[in-house]
Chain A
């Protein structure tokens, strides 16, 4: 008989221990214990009952769940909205209205149906809630609620039996994430969560962001410190355990749409408490500093920008590539990086690396392409093509309808659409999409061969990064910023005509792959040395570094990336300005350059 009580007693102890760990409503530390014995700051000055602030056994209003706090009335709420949300959010419904009767800050706390106004302290002069738990009538900056989730690839309904539940009408309510009675089911966050949200387990119940767990995203897996000092608001201390909330804040978010901790790219590096990729030391490298360089993607130049996460060639409201040449440009972190996917994984050109995984692009045909493979990425150039191909507002010279910056060359075949320039059907092109046209490129340094494919990022990117030349730097990789014009990884003094004698440094970009000794040794073009050294003529006056579109050139006049810059190279007296490829390492030019007429000049 005595023995039989043993297991029972243990059971009871276990239950009470678990509940104690959760800090139940009866706890003196539970903030929803508004009784005299509660922890405050909001609590009653006389009443020592606990349930009465929310519940009454008789004459409740609304009846379910025996509610006692007077409901808000006449409040004009602003609902959450987002271009990427499939569900529509209306006014608060269901049990969320109960929560709002205190948390929208419009009704005095302790204003009960059955007891009238219970005297409270820790409230404002009107008896209402203040501080960070007061959401106010503006619900646009809170995770949406009172809506029926629309399930899809990235949104699932909570599994049966899960602590996260939709209400009887299938609606997500405050109650789906919060249990108003138990404060510390998540003992770190202590926000009445229905389950432990370490590594965002609660968020992931519904949000199954593609790639987040499968890559996994560095933001999912990084054990680097992200603490309250660095702006973390959860109590968790690493990037991984903060999870979604490294970037998102589910209530009173500084940036409403997508409840971000700061506006757009400020979330990544410059926002208050959101400086992971800046000088905070959360991320290994300071990317924000790259954007202080002379030449940069305009990521931090305009915030907010015209960027929207719903951008697509098929989007009516947020079309990209852009159709208006006057439209504001943007280059946000999220245009090239998917924060739910990005991770350290290498790839072979042209495939984008893990850092670029999960980002859509524009393929060689001008169509949208979505990530695939391992890492799940598009080809790197396809990301560049979102803006630098068919977008009407892409960087281009005034002659093509663009602006004066940085300046641009004025080539015979004037083209700024990189997709058209790198087309493998072209007479010549740098091998971005496919191996180059010529099989006779003796200047190539190992490991490069005529079969190689290169990245845009091999020429464009950080001048102090790993791809810098002639000496690689230790700065971050990537096309963020450079102090070299055209955002190049190495010097390429194309505009410094004749005042800048040839050296290994001046054309370091070209010499990264093309051996200087070979070039100046006149192997394929016997007059290279005379032009480049003798005349201090930059490579780009004769060569187009990108390619010549098949619609504008041909294999006779535009092989070997020949596409003269008319700012320096002018027609001969007969008005001719072209090159003729005459076969293996021979050809002739019709033009006038540095005062010398070629009419033609053959080699």
Chain B
């Protein structure tokens, strides 16, 4: 009995350590509840973590239970004479999974502008306070007007995505054109992935149409690997999951 207790305590400790190492959303950089890097001081939602992205009701259908508005940003997209994938166009990016990420990271919608609060800043512009550990900077104006629009720092991508890895591109288009340059996709049920070890997800239910999105490389809930990468990039393992160079 005593022994079991010790094991149980150890188990709790281990779980706590994982959480502490930012293995979950809680207290990570994407946790905007009180006490996090981007501290929420609004009493109405203070203490909540999920609400800044998700809602159990009345959420978006594009991204499950999404609690933020779709950006209407005229994105400028990556282009290259040697890229075989077709540029998706700004509208496709807006409505993609990546559009959900960009609803904060393109700097057009305040991070406290939530759908289930009518798409308006819920209380006051003082509701959020960026702490010293925050990587991004936040402005006081924007469309819609908000004090909490991302304006700079590494997490800020803006509307100009030309210097960012392309998203919402159909993986198969590129792979088919230069098959020696890309790893072949796999499909299990309706989930399309790339890579044999720690595969990365593509978005879509068929290999021919599945796309590369922000979430192919990033897991917004888990910052274990830094910059919310889905896997360690040691040896550029993440890049090389798809790219054969």
Contacts and interface: CB of A to CB of B under 8 A. Distances in A.
Interface of A: 12, 15, 18-19, 24-26, 35, 37, 48-52, 55, 57-66, 114, 167-168, 181-182
Given A24-B245, A35-B235, A48-B235, A63 B180 contact: no
Contact of B163 (A19, A25, A26, A63): A63
Interface string B203-245: 0000000000000010000000000000001111001100111
A51 B236 contact: yes
A57 B234 contact: no
Nearest to B164: A58
A324 B184 CA distance: 70
A62 B236 CA distance: 20
Contacts of B233: 49
B180 A50 contact: no
B235 A58 contact: no
A398 to B, nearest CB: 66
Interface in B37-82: 78-82
A59 B244 CA distance: 22
Given A58-B163, A59-B164, A167 B81 contact: yes
Interface of B: 78-82, 154, 157, 162-165, 180, 184, 217, 233-236, 239-240, 243-245
A19 B235 contact: no
Contacts of A66: 78, 163-165
Query: 8 tightest A-B contacts by CB?
Result: A168-B81, A63-B163, A181-B245, A50-B236, A57-B165, A63-B162, A60-B163, A51-B236
A37 B78 CA distance: 31
A52 B163 CA distance: 14
Nearest to A55: B239
B165 A58 contact: yes
A35 B154 CA distance: 23
A175 B154 CA distance: 30
A464 to B, nearest CB: 58
A24 B236 CA distance: 13
Nearest to B243: A51
Given A48-B235, A50-B236, A167-B81, A19 B180 contact: yes
Given A57-B165, A61-B163, A62-B163, 15 more contacts: A15-B244, A18-B180, A19-B180, A26-B236, A26-B240, A37-B235, A48-B235, A50-B235, A50-B236, A51-B239, A51-B245, A57-B164, A63-B164, A66-B163, A66-B165
B231 to A, nearest CB: 12
A46 B78 CA distance: 31
A225 B174 CA distance: 45
B236 A114 contact: no
Given A19-B244, A64-B79, A49 B163 contact: no
Q: Which residue among B81, B154, B217 has the maximum number of chain A CB atoms within 10 Å of its CB? A: B81
Contacts of A50: 235-236, 239-240
Contacts of A26: 235-236, 240, 245
Contacts of B245: 24-26, 51, 181-182
Nearest to A57: B165
Interface SS of chain B: helix, strand, loop or mixed? loop
Given A48-B234, A50-B235, A51-B239, A59 B163 contact: yes
11 contacts: A12-B184, A48-B234, A49-B233, A49-B235, A52-B236, A57-B217, A59-B154, A61-B163, A63-B78, A63-B164, A168-B81
Given A51-B236, A59-B154, A64 B162 contact: yes
A483 to B, nearest CB: 62
Nearest to B82: A65
Contact of B236 (A15, A49, A60, A61): A49
B151 to A, nearest CB: 14
B167 to A, nearest CB: 10
Contacts of A25: 245
Contacts of B162: 63-64
B78 to A, nearest CB: 7
A209 to B, nearest CB: 29
A167 B82 CA distance: 9
Q: Which residue among A18, A35, A49, A168 has the maximum number of chain B CB atoms within 10 Å of its CB? A: A49
A8 to B, nearest CB: 8
Contacts of A65: 80, 82
Nearest to A25: B245
A114 B163 contact: no
Contact of A24 (B82, B154, B165, B244): B244
A290 to B, nearest CB: 52
A21 to B, nearest CB: 12
B1 to A, nearest CB: 47
A558 B5 CA distance: 130
Nearest to B217: A57
Given A26-B235, A58-B154, A64 B164 contact: no
Contacts of A59: 154, 157, 163-164
A64 B165 CA distance: 9
Nearest to A168: B81
A386 to B, nearest CB: 47
Contacts of B184: 12
A314 to B, nearest CB: 40
Contacts of A168: 81
Nearest to B162: A63
B80 A64 contact: yes
A26 B180 CA distance: 14
B181 to A, nearest CB: 9
Contacts of A60: 163-164
Nearest to B245: A181
A71 to B, nearest CB: 13
A49 B154 contact: no
